[in-house]
Amino acid sequence: MRVFLTGGTGFIGGHVAHQLRLRGDDVVALVRSPNKAVALRESGCELVVGDLSSDEAIGRGIEGCDAVIHAGAVYKVGIPKSEHAAMYESNVRGTERVLDAAIAAGVPRIVYVSTVGVFGDTHGKLVDESFRRDSKFPSEYERTKTLAHEIAEDRIAKGAPIVIVQPGGVYGPGDHSEIGNVIEQVRTGKLPAKAFPETGFMFCHVEDIAAGIVLALHAGKVGEAYVLSGEQAQIGELIDRVAEIAGRKPPRFTVPTGLLKLMAPLGPVVGPMLGFPPNLGEMIRSSDGVTYWASDAKARRELGFAPRDLDTGLRQTLAAAR
């Protein structure tokens, strides 16, 4: 199979490319910078230079492909308003361009990588793919990914051969997200305090999410969405489990959320000093007592999705960092 892939230089997309190549599939990867695509090139991927704003590059990459996986997106929470337009252009308009180009080219199989974040705060409940959010958007990331998800649903309603996957809280070796930073700081004993310990995620190792995406490509039912989540836990639990595995003492102090709220107006200055993004208000709204809990039962049942447990995944992640 010849697969056009966006987001191949990203955390999840890189693992998707690797797994496709191991299967023997040909991969055509859209890359903004060839210098950041060394691993893709070395694995045998064909590179098309361009980004999600380029109709020409997208069309050239899709030509002759049997399938498209659109995993490209900007994932940041806590960004200043000055970055909102660029995120919208990538996450929303980029999704329109890729899906519409694939449809126009008659590609018979399209996988769109969404997120459980489109459900918003699940208020401590474990939801499934039928859930619809009842809360405002706390971040521009959540807003733009929800709009992109709706674009995919719109194209499905018009007959496009799209399968949607919705990853949960991804982690694993080489992760530079906020979750990855927390795990690394705990591993090295440098996390001074817990922040938002009650924030809830479905933690899933990056290799398992990539495997789920490939499963959806081959076994997913057109028009359906599949949550690829993993194990349910809160950030405080994650910190304690990482500390135990690493032989470290977890932080005894928890940063009061009220203090962070008072500091929010000074976010651009204070945030980076504390290891937080500059838009503290957006980060607080996305974290304070929020749960992003969604069941992967459907993916397990219909795709054969079988993610590893959290302790196993954390041990492997820490071992890879030594």
Q: Are 5 and 13 in contact (CB under 8 A)?
A: yes
Q: Are 95 and 151 in contact (CB under 8 A)?
A: yes
Mean pLDDT confidence for 86-113: 98
Task: Estimate the crossing angle of helix 206-219 against helix 11-23, to 10 degrees.
Answer: 60
* 3-class state of residue 51 by DSSP: coil
- Cα distance between residue 71 and residue 216, in whole Å: 13
Predicted pLDDT at 82: 93
Predicted pLDDT at 278: 82
Specify the range with the lowest mean pLDDT, choosing from 208-212, 217-221, 257-261.
257-261
Report strand pairing: 225-228 vs 162-167. Answer: parallel
Specify the range with the lowest mean pLDDT, choosing from 29-38, 107-116, 235-244, 261-270.
261-270
Q: Is the pLDDT of residue 283 over 90?
A: no
Q: Give 125-171 pLDDT, tens digit per residue.
A: 999 999 998 888 999 999 999 999 999 999 999 999 999 999 999 99
Confidence of residue 280 (pLDDT cuts 50, 70, 90): confident
Predicted pLDDT at 140: 96
Secondary structure element (H or E) that encloses residue 238, with its range: helix 235-246
- Work out the number of other CB atoms within 10 angstroms of the CB of residue 112: 27
Which alpha helices (H) appear in 68-220, and where do they start and end?
84-88, 94-104, 140-157, 178-187, 206-219
Residues in Cβ contact with 132 at an 8 Å cutoff, skipping those fewer than 6 apart: 119
| % of the chain residues with pLDDT over 70 | 99
Q: Give 228-250 pLDDT, tens digit per residue.
A: 999 999 999 999 999 999 999 99
| % of the chain residues with pLDDT over 90 | 86
Q: What does the buried/exposed string (b/e) look like for 242-277 if buried means 16 or more CB atoms within 10 Å of the residue's CB?
A: bbebbebebbeeebebeebeebbeebeeebeeeebb
Q: Is the pLDDT of residue 194 over 70?
A: yes
Higher pLDDT: 180 or 260? It is 180
Specify the range with the lowest mean pLDDT, choosing from 109-118, 142-151, 276-285.
276-285
Mean pLDDT confidence for 273-298: 88
Q: Are 53 and 258 in contact (CB under 8 A)?
A: no
Residues in Cβ contact with 90 at an 8 Å cutoff, skipping those fewer than 6 apart: 51, 52, 53, 72, 73, 74, 144
Rounded to the nearest integer, the mean pLDDT of the chain is: 94
Predicted pLDDT at 262: 85
Residue 14 tokens, joined:
């890189």
Hey, what domains does the chain have and what are their CATH numbers? 2-171+205-229+294-307 (3.40.50.720)
Q: Which residue has the tokens 């991969």?
A: 27
Predicted pLDDT at 274: 65
Write phi, then psi, for 164 (nearest 5 degrees).
-105, 135
Q: Give 287-312 pLDDT, tens digit per residue.
A: 999 999 999 999 999 999 999 999 99
Exposure on the CB side of residue 296, measured as CA atoms within 13 A: 29
Please give the model's pTM, rounded to 2 decimal places: 0.95
